[in-house]
Structure 1
Amino acid sequence: MQCCISFCISHILESQMETSLLTQLTPYFLSFLLLLLLLEQISYLKKKGSIPGPLLVFPFIGNAFSLVTNPAKFWDVQSDLAKSANTGFSANYIIGNFMIFIRDTELSHKVFANVRPDAFHLVGHPFGKKLFGEHNLIYMMGQPHKDLRRRIAPNFTHKALATYTSLQQIIIVKHLKMWEKLSSESAPNPITLRILARDMNLETSQTVFVGPYLAHEARERFKNDYNLFNVGLLKLPLDFPGTAFRNARFAVNRLVKTLAHCTKQSKEKMREGREPSCLIDYWMQETLREIAEVKATGGEELPPYSSDAEIGGYLFDFLFAAQDASTSSLLWAVTLLDSHPEVLAKVREEVTGLWSPESDRLITAEMLREMKYTAAVAREVVRFKAPATLVPHVAGEDFLLTETYTIPKGTIVFPSAYESSFQGFTEPDRFDPDRFSEERQEDVVFKRNFLAFGAGAHQCVGQRYALNHLVLFIAMFATLLDFKRHRTDGCDDITFVPTICPKDDCKVFLSKRCTRYPNLSVC
């Protein structure tokens, strides 16, 4: 009995000592934590220096919450700070990273022109390496990047683009029919175009890039995985089971494997000497020729960037670049045509003068080249609402941005293509396709401000394809359908998803404009 009592007393004393020790250590722990937070704040202020930006930031998370919950407002504030201080750039802090926002065109060009190991690394997304992996087109630089772009070039020749033009139109008409039917069934309520346009673009990208190599079941899985990827793009990089970011990362891996399998099938088809029917065929036709040349000289190793897995990764880069930016431009095209009926009338006049909407034939490459005003409208849509508003880079080393400010190593730098689009141009706040006419040629005069497709070594390699797609969509949408926006307060405000789109996701009423759609099955 005495032993039990002694044990209980001893246990109580030990517990009290542990509680007392914890109580004694708590102030030291809190002091250490406060010291770390103070050092973090001092580090931020030291990097910021005299440039505009918030004086106080939340520990570690910084202003990430406002960036995620209301990105349009976040970037507007950064722009206003840069304007008010007349510096052309401003600072902030997100997820433990110091960041610089650049609105000045010439300073943006400094970043685009210095993508190299000792200056800036293009990241495409603040946490892109975790999503896309280390080895893809976005992160390449120097000679390897030049070599890969040279191998990609055959994918965008006039012959290749003409092939894609046919594929694009078949998908566009198919979806316009679906939209018109859906609008009829939904009357008197409007339909929302964003998801519909995204689905159309995804099918277009799949068809143009890998054509016959995706079976119906594979396309459905592909669509689901790409949706997971899209959701994860705008979430915090919490890489834990069940999080949207983790789901997106795994989805990317599955997408790349699928595209690698398509690459393998294309190689087999091109070895048979058949004509290319999609982008991967044009690519593999040249790749097989290069492999044959290596073997002819006694080489045993494959040329660089020619394995199925590598090309699958690069195809995903194409998909990422084409999908959401294109969806953004299509939605803004509908919005701007609706609010500028004089522009819409001129588009319809030009298109119907070259192509009969009720014919059983496609718009040819020659017709497309003659649609100069419609092409000007497409370029003005891209200028006026640059879809990829920002192009994130990371400073590989300290970089002298101006005579008075050096960007510290490790800083995330955001050159703004959107802001540049409103600098230099005549009346830049006015939607004016005529600025790109042969008479005014503002695309030449203010070329440095037209940064929607980037600049420098990493300028978008597929910009001609992207513009062709937008021209074709505008031509067919405007001539095959009558449409009216369902306008509400703030419906045209910008929202990020992840590229910019109208806040209401573009709600419209649609009806058939022609007696019938083109019977493209006979083409």
Structure 2
Amino acid sequence: MVESLLYGLVDLRMAASFLAAVVAFYILVEQLSYHRKKGFLPGPTLAVPFVGSAAHMIRDPTVFWDVQAARASKSGTGLAADSLFGRFMVFIRDTELSRRVLTNVRPDAFHTIAHPFGKKLFGEHNLFYTFGDEHKDLRRRIAPNFTRRALSTYAIVQQRVILAHLRRWLATDNDMAIPLRVPCRDMNLETSQAVFVGPYLTDEARERFDRDYNLFNVGLMTLPVDLPGFAFRRARQAVTRLTRILGDCARQSKERMRGGGEPECLVDYWMQETVIEIDEAAAAGMPPPPHTSDAEIGGILFDFLFAAQDASTSSLCWAVCALDSHPDVLARVRAEVASLWSPNSGKPITADMMTEMKYTQAVSREVVRYRPPATLVPHIAGEAFQLTENYTVPKGALVFPSVYESSFQGFTDAEAFDPERFFSEERRKDVVYKRNFLAFGAGPHLCVGQRYALNHLLLFVALFASLVDFRRHRTDGCDVPVYTSTIAPRDGCAVYLKPRCGKLPSF
């Protein structure tokens, strides 16, 4: 008996020694692989086994990405290296190198992923992950969603939602500072629901939608552990339910558009042409065109929602910060809006009025330049890609072009908030430095909804500035950008609010 136990202990020791040797060998191979891929790029000397610098990134993303930018800048290469979740990573600070990535999204170069583990969250088949002719066809189908007529329809809906939320904000205690980040996010979620699928969401579906989108938001910034009880698993399951709800909205819209209904929301403008193509294919005995099933449309609608939601929240908060810090800019916005629209008119701001608001447009563009919400656009190298004369990005590497860093390159006095750079006919910095303005991307995956996003920011700035007196609750470092899924002021944009006029308009 004792002899058997001794033999068992020896076997366990041998197994443990073997396992330790395997782990040590794996770590050695991982370090050698990391250094081979890193080459001359600045970055950590050693990669932490299995996770790399993921803990640092999750614990303090602001400092983590600042370190990457500092390394890339100091080295003069415009590049920095690191490791995340056991995967080699390249950070890109230089604008032209970022453009090379953004304009080379194709199977044999770079793949847009939206999130390091985006395919698990969003699924394999959505707008982020399409290429070539498939991507072009999908954008062609989406194009009717963003015509001038469609944007005019959305503008009325957007203003109704903004005004409803301004009433709620102003109904709170005027002596209390309100951090606007969460209220803005709630407002944007309701705006997206109303604009994208408004007539087709019941109150019950809307409540479920809000709960699931919150689960998705929480899981987006956690460790990607796809096991029961973890936030990432809950987020993935929430996306499945959300796309199912949106797919059902697409089904209802198809029925209504076949019946000759007038478009009231984005999915209606989309389905107006889509049902014609589906019916023509059916009459010819052909299968339905690609990307026209309810499930696929639901997935793409979720892509729109994700793209619009947190990015827009970031921009609205930074707009409030900028207007508070620059009273001269605020005064010019108020004067321009007042010359074109009155809250006593009982009518919304029209598309023609928005076109005339040149200075407010410039303010909106400068907000997006000064604090680009999608600071980083994650990609994966599908194949090895020669990015510079001396450096080739290895296949499988995570690649992070920094839109934020590009926004401060080229522009005169780039650290200053200066809408005049986009307003002045003499300066025309939007033309001169167009290549540095990457807030909406570049190349084949240029943001299809950028006009909608800028319209939403313009309408919020116009209404908020005209109808609300506000003052920041200033604390040390309150305007320092912190990374969530986008960037936000450290204090969440805390402001004191009170109405500028007796009663907010309604229409």
Q: Which residue does 1:52 correspond to in 2?
A: 42
Pair 1:240-2:230 in alignment: no
Q: Map 1:93-242 to 2 at 5 A.
A: 93-184=83-174, 187=175, 189-242=176-229
1:276 equivalent to 2:257? Answer no
Take 1:293 and 1:150, find their aligned partners in 2: how far apart are those partners?
A: 18
SS where residue 318 of structure 1 aligns? helix
Counterpart contact for 2:365–2:422, Cα < 8 Å: yes
Residues 359, 519 of structure 1: 8 Å contact kept: no
Mapped to 2, the partners of 1:276 and 1:437 lie a distance apart of 34
Tell me, yes or no, if structure 1 residue 351 matches structure 2 residue 341: no
Partner SS for 2:345: coil
Aligned position for 1:447: 434
Quote the residue 1:407 is aligned against.
393
Task: Measure the CA separation in 1 of the matches of 2:179 and 2:106.
Answer: 42
Q: Does the alignment pair 1:427 with 2:413?
A: yes
Partner of 1:390: 376
Equivalent positions of 1:281-360 (< 5 A) are 281-296=268-283, 298-360=284-346
1:6 corresponds in structure 2 to: none
Distance 2:173 2:110 in 1: 47
Q: Counterparts of 1:104 and 1:94 in 2: how far apart (Å)?
A: 21
> 2:388 aligns to what SS in structure 1?
coil
| TM-score normalized with structure 1 length | 0.95
Post-superposition offset of 1:24: 3.9
The question of whether the paired residues in 2 share the 8 Å contact of 1:183 and 1:191 is answered with: no
SS at the partner of 1:182?
coil
Letter in 2 for 1:411: A
2:485 aligned residue (498, 508, 517): 498
Q: Deviation digits for residues 51-99 of structure 1, max 9, x if unmatched?
A: 1111112111110001011111111101110111100111000101000
Local SS of the residue matching 1:501: strand
1:333-366 alpha-carbon deviations (Å, 9 max, x no partner) = 0011101111001000000111012331100111
What SS class does the counterpart of residue 40 from structure 2 fall into?
coil
Distance in 2, Cα, partners of 1:359 & 1:515: 14
Distance of aligned partners of 1:125 and 1:59 in 2 relative to their CA distance in 1, 3 Å threshold: same
Give the distance between the partners of 2:227 and 2:94, measured in 1 at CA. Answer: 38
Q: 1:403 deviation in Å?
A: 0.7
User: What is the distance in 1 between the residues matched to 2:22 and 2:198?
Assistant: 59
**One-letter code aligned to 1:250:** Q
Deviations 1:415-445 (A, max 9, x none): 0111100011111111000100151211111
Bigger drift between 351-360 and 159-168 goes to 351-360
Letter in structure 1 aligned against 2:441? G
8 Å CA contact 1:358–1:514 kept in 2: the answer is no
Distance 2:280 2:44 in 1: 58
Matched positions, count: 506
**SS of corresponding position for 1:93:** strand
Cα distance, 1:294 vs structure 2: 2.7
Cα distance in 2 between the residues matched to 1:506 and 1:519: 26
CA contact (8 A) 2:160 2:506 kept: no
Q: How many Å separate the matches in 1 of 2:481 and 2:319? A: 14
Structure 2 residue ranges without an equivalent (≥5):
none
Runs of 4+ aligned structure 1 residues displaced above 6 Å come to none
- CA shift at 1:293, angstroms? 3.2
RMSD of equivalent CA atoms: 1.0
Measured against aligned partners, the alpha-carbon deviations of 1:237-269 in whole angstroms (never above 9, x if no partner) come to: 001101000000000000000000000110111
Q: TM-score, normalised by structure 2?
A: 0.98
Deviation per residue, 1:18-69 (Å, 9 max, x gap): 0132234433332332121111111101100011111112111110001011
1:378 aligns with 2:364: yes
Whether contact under 8 Å (2:212, 2:238) holds in the other structure is yes
Q: Say which SS state the counterpart of residue 20 (structure 1) adopts.
A: helix
Given the alignment, which residue of 11, 16, 20 partners 1:26? 16
Name the counterpart of 1:488.
475
Is 1:458 the equivalent of 2:448?
no
Classify the secondary structure of the residue corresponding to 1:427: coil
1:38 alignment partner, SS class: helix
CA distance in 1, matches of 2:288, 2:120: 28
Return the alpha-carbon distance in structure 2 between the equivalents of residues 519 and 88 of structure 1: 51
Q: Secondary structure of the residue that 2:420 maps to in structure 1?
A: helix
Residues 93 and 405 in structure 2, CA contact (< 8 A), matched pair in contact too: yes
- Aligned equivalents of 1:208, 1:43: Cα separation in 2: 48
Aligned mates of 2:439, 2:233 — CA distance in 1: 30
CA distance in 2, matches of 1:130, 1:420: 29
User: How far off is 1:493 after superposition?
Assistant: 1.1
Query: How far off its partner does 1:295 sit?
Result: 4.0
8 Å contact kept, 1:169–1:472: yes
Maintained 8 Å contact 1:183/1:509: no
Shift in Å at residue 515 of structure 1?
Answer: 1.7
Amino acid at match of 1:88: G
Specify the code of the residue in structure 2 equivalent to 1:142.
G
Shift of 1:379: 0.2
Q: Which residue of 2 aligns with 1:263?
A: 250
Give the whole-Å Cα distance in 1 for the aligned partners of 2:321 and 2:117: 31
Question: Residue type of the partner of 1:458?
Answer: H
The alignment status of 1:43 with 2:43, answered yes or no, reads no
Determine which structure has more spread, i.e. the larger CA radius of gyration.
Answer: 1
Q: Following the alignment from structure 1 to structure 2, what is the Cα–Cα distance between the partners of residues 175 and 500?
A: 22
Give the 3 Å change call, closer, same or farther, for CA 300–25 of structure 1 in structure 2.
Answer: closer
**1:251 corresponding residue in structure 2:** 238
1:264-300 Cα distance to aligned partner (Å, 9 max, x none)? 110111111111000000000010122233345x233
In 2: Cα distance, 1:32 partner to 1:131 partner: 32
Q: 3-state SS of the aligned residue for 2:343?
A: coil
